[in-house]
Structure 1
Amino acid sequence: MASVDMDPDVARRLFEEGATLVLLGVPQGTELGIDYKSWRVGPLFRGVKMIPPGLHFLHYCSTNAANCGGEIGPKTGLFLTLKPREILLANWNPKEEDLDFSASQNVEEVSRVRATLRDLDPFLGPYPYEVMRKWVSLTDHLSQEVATALQPLSGRVCAFSDVIPELQLKHTKDREEQNLPRNDTACQSMKEGLDKLPRMKQREGTELRFSDIPRQTYPPGATPAQITKCSLDQSYALENLLEKHHQLKPLNVLGELQFAFVCFLVGNVYDAFEHWKRLLALLCRSEEAMQKHKDLYLGLIAVLYHQLGEIPPDFFVDIVSQNNFLTSTLQDFFQFSIGPGVDSTLRKRSEKFKAHLTKKFLWDFEADLDDCDPVVVELPDDVALE
């Protein structure tokens, strides 16, 4: 592990106040990272030191034990909130290919490690301070409270879902009772082959616990006119989500948006990307809510500014811009933001953000987005978001 040159005063403060992750027994070649950076573990690695207090995302991928340069397994991660000078101790469990933090509950063991920390220091890699500003900008609305509420009960965010059969059908008789085809008969079609596969479900405790985004955007008993209105302006659905999941702190919905983005961008969880898209679309297509929740939407602009700055440009072509998702969603947002009931500060910030995206990605939010590919436009003048 290596880090860029750090200001001596910053290094001294982090050395004195920073937290320490002592990670023992991690196999050589394991890909391990914290926040926005990762490394391949070497033979002398024992953990990470000088970690700024606050929320962090520790992530790792096991590797083929027979060959440290071999295949890398799916990524596992967990959110941690570290206190000043805290020592968090974990041992690698080779059977589970995971870190076991139970040793951190042993006060005597932690005290022993603290007493020998100076001897351990040469084997601890410094926190990659150069990514700190970027990490804070991506998680400034994400508290440990929100992260704990959203992450799986297992405490682990996994790139691949841990799935098990919905029903344990070990015998042909069991399959017949469920009206499923026998395994020993030839398949006549792809559908028949798929039907022979057992129905799978995610193992309990391993699923991300995102807020439920209402599928019905209008109130019960709504008239056709109300249904049309609520389809164009999804504020009713957004207010339901805020009341159910973020009633006390509406801005926590931005923390959820950041949680989903980090789980996707750093943790490689595709389901988190799908939730990010749906939650973003709901926020951007809620006109009345935009007039009511000024601070929420000022925060949304800042969140998107930093998030879109971190996605590789070619990624927009491959996924984000597929079917014009992002351009059409933001087009609705910018259209609503110039409405008569929108706060003037929010309107101006939105206009600057729109100009910034037009310049950076060459997106034309004034064009008709019926075509399949994003529309681009040349913008010669420099536009600042500040």
Structure 2
Amino acid sequence: MDQETANALFDKGAFLLFLDAPENLEFGIDLATWTVGPRFKGIKIIPPGLHFVYYSGANRPGQSGGVRSGFFKFFESQEIVVKRWDEASEDVFPDSAMDLEQLGRYRLSKSHAQSCSSVRRVSTHIRDFDANLGIYPLTATAHHPTPVYPRWLKLCSRISTKRVGRVLPSGGILNAAEAESRFSENGLRAEPKGKGPAKVDQHALRIEFALIDLKKSFPVGATGSDVTKYSLDKSFLLRKVLQDHFENDHKELLGELQLSFIIFLVGQTYDGFEQWKTLVQLICMSEEALETLGNTLFVEFVECPEDFFTDAITSDSFLRASLVSLVANARARPQAPPALRSAIDGLVEGLLRRFRWDLMGEVRLREGADDEEAWGMEEGEDAPVVVEL
């Protein structure tokens, strides 16, 4: 990157000052993660928009890092966000703990200090930190050979400020050890491998996912044939979920799909996986969802860790059955949009090349079976209900 380009980005991008970070702290933003050194003071040239900043306790000899914590934040152009590490809690101080004296130490403007806010506009003072600020990985580097930013944009393209506020009402804060949701209450959540700092009430960090019951996918009072129909095709449930939780806005539903995936994949919080799983099944088993919702799933499948995907396709998992349903439903629509057909072809080819999984072969097997055998691929409590008449 030449100096002229760097200066232009410096003047437009946002900044995160991350002060008093201990050496060997695991620190990340979006899909990029580092182990920081003693001079680290934050990140510069952050593109405006949604980002997820996360960290875990410093690694010690013979120990792995702590439980991951972080926060979602919509950065504005030229915005400066200030966070300070609290060694006692192994997390950042709350914004309310950043008093006027502390802010004065970091050379923030008088008006900023008076507002007791952790945000201000860029001034010449930020350049004093320049040598200690890492650069947001906009382009390919030795550490990140594939540019992070384009991948991140695809993962969060539908997430709105409103959706973050509804799912994470604590101000976008996420802590893998302390977060709870309806999945925690139902005993579906996996126990964390580490123990994080218990410094706040768990209810303050509650994740408010939309309530979706895949087993109740048919209208009240439905006949036996309708129960079978709407258990196989979840389009009725999809319409009800959109009306009840997303104001009939497909983009908001996609936003929760993306947010739950990031909470799981990057935030390392299992509750996110459960909601993502529910939404994936709902979309893949809804014929009406293909044209408006299908493409977003393909982006997320690409970002799944290789071991996660390998385990999923070598077992009778929900993901294997969902992908077969998705492709079969798409093939059943001869007038499918070219973009959707292209995305499905890319998914099929990618799975065959990367994992040697002949997804299309399984789809053809299902298309040649009767309905009961075909839909029997979905096992367990989420299997479709078939009513014998």
Q: Relative to structure 2, which stretch is displaced further, 42-51 or 106-115?
A: 106-115
Distance (Å, rounded) in 1 between the aligned partners of 2:318 and 2:2: 42
Taking the aligned partners of 1:91 and 1:113, their CA distance within structure 2 comes to 18
Mapped pair 1:26 → 2:21: yes
**Is contact 2:20-2:85 (8 Å) kept?**
yes
Counterpart of 1:135 in structure 2 is 152
Shift of 1:319: 4.3
1:124 alignment partner in structure 2: 133
Number of residues of Structure 1 aligned to a counterpart in Structure 2: 320
Q: Does the alignment pair 1:366 with 2:361?
A: yes
Aligned equivalents of 2:48 and 2:129: distance in 1?
20
Distance 2:207 2:223 in 1: 35
TM-score, scaled relative to structure 2: 0.73
What is the Cα deviation at residue 115 of structure 1?
A: 4.7
Aligned mates of 1:31, 1:347 — CA distance in 2: 38
Write the deviation string for residues 18-46 of structure 1: whole angstroms up to 9, x where unpaired.
10111111222211111111112221211
1:45 aligns with 40
1:54 maps to which of 38, 44, 49: 49
Matches within 5 A, 1:1-386: 6=1, 8=3, 10-63=5-58, 67=60, 70-100=63-93, 101-102=95-96, 103=98, 107-109=111-113, 114-129=123-138, 130-153=147-170, 155-161=172-178, 203-214=202-213, 215-290=215-290, 294=291, 296-297=292-293, 300-301=294-295, 303-319=296-312, 321-340=314-333, 343-345=336-338, 348-349=341-342, 351-360=344-353, 361-364=355-358, 365-367=360-362, 368=365
**Structure 1 residues 104, 277: closer, same or farther in 2, change over 3 A?**
farther
How far does residue 350 in structure 1 lie from its aligned partner after superposition? 5.5
Distance between the aligned counterparts of 2:22 and 2:331, measured in 1?
A: 55
CA deviation vs aligned residue, 1:85-125 (integer Å, no higher than 9, x gap)? 11111222233322233449974336699452222211111
Q: Which amino acid aligns with 1:136?
A: L
Shift, 1:12, TM fit: 2.9
Cα deviation code 1:39-60 (max 9, x no counterpart): 1222121111111111110000
CA distance in 2, matches of 1:104, 1:250: 42
Cα distance in structure 2, aligned partners of 1:306 and 1:104: 42
Distance of aligned partners of 1:277 and 1:142 in 2 relative to their CA distance in 1, 3 Å threshold:
same
For normalisation by structure 1, the TM-score amounts to 0.74
Alpha-carbon distance in 2 for matches of 1:253, 1:162: 21
**3-state SS in 2 of match to 1:33:** strand
- Secondary structure of the corresponding residue to residue 60 of structure 1: strand
Moved more, 35-44 or 140-149: 140-149
Q: What's the CA shift for 1:69? A: 7.7
Task: Give the corresponding residue for 1:380.
Answer: none
Once the 2 structures are TM-superposed, how far is the Cα of residue 354 of structure 1 from its aligned partner? Answer: 4.9
Deviation at 1:11, TM superposition (A): 2.4
Q: Distance in 1 between matches of 2:163 and 2:299?
A: 20
SS of equivalent to 2:303: coil
CA pair 342-231 structure 1, distance change in 2 beyond 3 A: farther
Q: % of aligned pairs identical?
A: 34
Range with greater deviation from structure 2 (152-161 or 265-274): 152-161
Q: Report the alpha carbon displacement of residue 217 of structure 1 after superposing the two structures with TM.
A: 0.8
Whether the 8 Å contact between 2:43 and 2:134 is mirrored in structure 1 is yes
Which amino acid counterpart does residue 314 of structure 1 have in structure 2? D
* Contact 1:25-1:46 within 8 A present in 2 as well: yes
CA-CA distance at 1:216 after TM superposition: 0.8
**How much is the aligned-residue C-alpha RMSD, in angstroms?**
3.0
Deviations 1:328-383 (A, max 9, x none): 21111122223358544366336524543453333223334889xx9xxxxxxxxx
**Residue 192 of structure 2: aligned partner:** none
1:309 is paired with a residue of what secondary structure?
helix
Post-superposition CA distance 1:228-280 (Å, at most 9, x none): 11111111111111111212521221121111111111111122112211110
From the superposition, tell whether residues 30 and 351 of structure 1 become closer, same or farther in structure 2 (CA, over 3 Å): closer
Contact 1:78 1:157 in 2 (8 A): yes
2:235, 2:288 within 8 Å by CA — same for their partners in 1? Answer: yes
Conserved? CA contact 1:87–1:114, under 8 Å: no
* 1:254 partner amino acid: L
1:88 touches 1:104 (CA, 8 Å); kept in 2? no
Q: Which has the larger radius of gyration?
A: 1
Distance in 1 (CA, whole Å) between partners of 2:302 and 2:289 is 26
The alpha-carbon distance between structure 1 residues 115 and 16, as it changes in their structure 2 partners (threshold 3 A), is closer
Does the CA-based 8 Å contact 1:21-1:47 persist in structure 2?
yes
Distance 2:44 2:61 in 1: 24
